[in-house]
Amino acid sequence: MLVTLADILKKADKGNYAVVAPDYTTLHSVRYQLEVAEKYKAPLILSYTKHIKSLCPTKSWDKWTRIILDECEQYDIDVCLHLDHGTTVEECNEAVDSGFTGIMMDASAKSFEENVELTSKVVEYAHKHNVSVEAEIGHVGTAVEGTYLMKDEARAHLTQPEEAKRFVDLTKTDCLAVAIGTVHGEYKGEPHIDFELLEMIDKLVSVPLVIHGGSGTGDDNIRKAVSLGIRKINVFHDWIQPSQLKTAEIIAQTPKALGKIADATRDIIYDVLGHWFDITSSGNKG
């Protein structure tokens, strides 16, 4: 059943586990993600990013959203439909109006003051409609930026604990994405996660914490991050890359084998998310 982001993360906080948040691309991937979550009795945050809006299969984006909302209601687990990395107030408000139960306002690349202003506007509108908000302070980069090496001795891109506390107090956001050394995409070396920093942030910040760039971070690192207060972990690369590669392989061998492509995607999503439910301790928590 559909629940808000705040509701799903409050349960995770009480139970000391993290909720997996995989991005979906098609209705097939939505279905497979919900199926495997129900199989493991795990809560799920279905994440949507504007970068795949061109894949919308209906003329109306609202209609597409309603189809997904209806699909979410067919499963006997807690599900949040979440906008991932909204970058404008208008975009976030549109998702609220369409029925999303969680919204991320990502103004992390802007100044602290601008981030507070934009996030506060989204929070005000979303809360009026009983929708929860995720925000980000610090900057979770991409692998090509090399931030995973943490070469910036001033650690300017990482979340600063006192600033994070002030940000949450000012914006009233429901959860906070933090930069502790993870990256979006594929790591180009060994992950270097600052667990001491995470522990400091968790002690100061009153809302559940989120990490982006969960894929490739490593099982032990994920388990430790969860033990130190991470309650939502974004996962996309782990399932989309092998799925795309397998699709290319099947097409090269048998171009019309649509059933094989669907089956392969399903199996990959089942395997990948099943593993993530295990390492986040979210199985049997849905």
Tokens coding 84: 């991932």
CB 264 within 8 A of CB 246: yes
Residue 144 is given by DSSP the state: G
H or E stretch at 45: strand 44-49
CB 233 within 8 A of CB 18: yes
Which run of H or of E encompasses 81? strand 79-86
| C-beta separation of 140 from 109 below 8 A | no
Residue 157 has what DSSP assignment? T
How many CB atoms sit inside 10 A of residue 253's CB?
Answer: 9
| Residues belonging to the active site | 84
Q: Say how many C-beta atoms besides its own lie within 10 A of residue 202's C-beta.
A: 18
Q: Does residue 54 sit in helix, strand or coil? A: helix
Residue 212, number of CB atoms within 10 A of its CB: 27
- DSSP, collapsed to helix, strand or coil, labels residue 177 as strand
238-242 long-range contacts (CB < 8 A, ≥24 apart) are: 238/214, 238/272, 238/276, 239/22, 239/268, 239/269, 239/272, 239/273, 240/23, 240/25, 241/186, 242/268, 242/272
